[in-house]
Amino acid sequence: MIRKTREWQADIVMAFHPVGGSHADNRTAGEAVRDAAAFIAFTPNIVPEVPPLSKSPLFLLTPDYHAKRFYRPDIVIAVDAVLEKKLDAIAAHGRHPTDDEIRKFFPMLPAPV
């Protein structure tokens, strides 16, 4: 995590929230990001073969949508240019809903602010 974030010189890191979500693998991924976050920038002794970033990336954590009453969306990111690619990736993941099921979800999303 630290090595790749530094190599990519990431400005933004998006991850699952480490304490929410219904899938254990998602929570574990969030924990890995949380644990690495403090060391990505300004800490040259951790993964010393890759220089630390000069500034910390912005970390965006996805909420647990099963607990949506605790979250109020306050940021919108346009994904139009990559939407079809994302839908293909989700459809390839067997445990996720089908393409048609995903498209049925779109009308339920709140309008951008």
- pLDDT at site 51: 94
Reported as a pLDDT band with limits 50, 70 and 90, residue 32 is very high
Q: Are residues 37 and 57 in the same domain?
A: yes
Q: How far, CA to CA in Å, does 95 sit from each of 20, 23, 92?
A: 18, 11, 9
Three-class DSSP labels, 16-85? ECCCCCCCHHHHHHHHHHHHHHHHHECCCCCCCCCCCECCCCEEEEECCHHHHHHCCCCCCCCCHHHHHH
Q: What residue numbers bound the domain in which 113 lies?
A: 72-113
pLDDT at 75: 78
Residues 31 and 84 both lie in one domain = no
Same domain, 10 and 56: yes
Whether 48 and 34 share a structural domain? yes
Whether residue 9 sits in one domain with residue 50: yes
Residues 57 and 77 reside in one and the same domain: no
Same domain, 86 and 47: no
Same domain (yes/no): 6, 54: yes
Element (DSSP H or E) covering residue 13: strand 12-16
Q: What pTM was computed for the model?
A: 0.62
Higher pLDDT, 96 or 10: 10
Domain count, the chain: 2
72 to 8, 26, 48, 111: CA distances (angstroms): 30, 21, 39, 12
pLDDT value at residue 57: 95
The pLDDT tens digits for 67-113 are 666 667 777 888 889 999 988 887 787 665 666 777 777 776 666 65
Give the model confidence (pLDDT) of 33-55 as tens digits: 999 998 999 899 999 999 999 99
Residues 52 and 85 in one domain: no
Amino acid residing at 4:
K
Note whether 57 and 84 are same-domain residues.
no
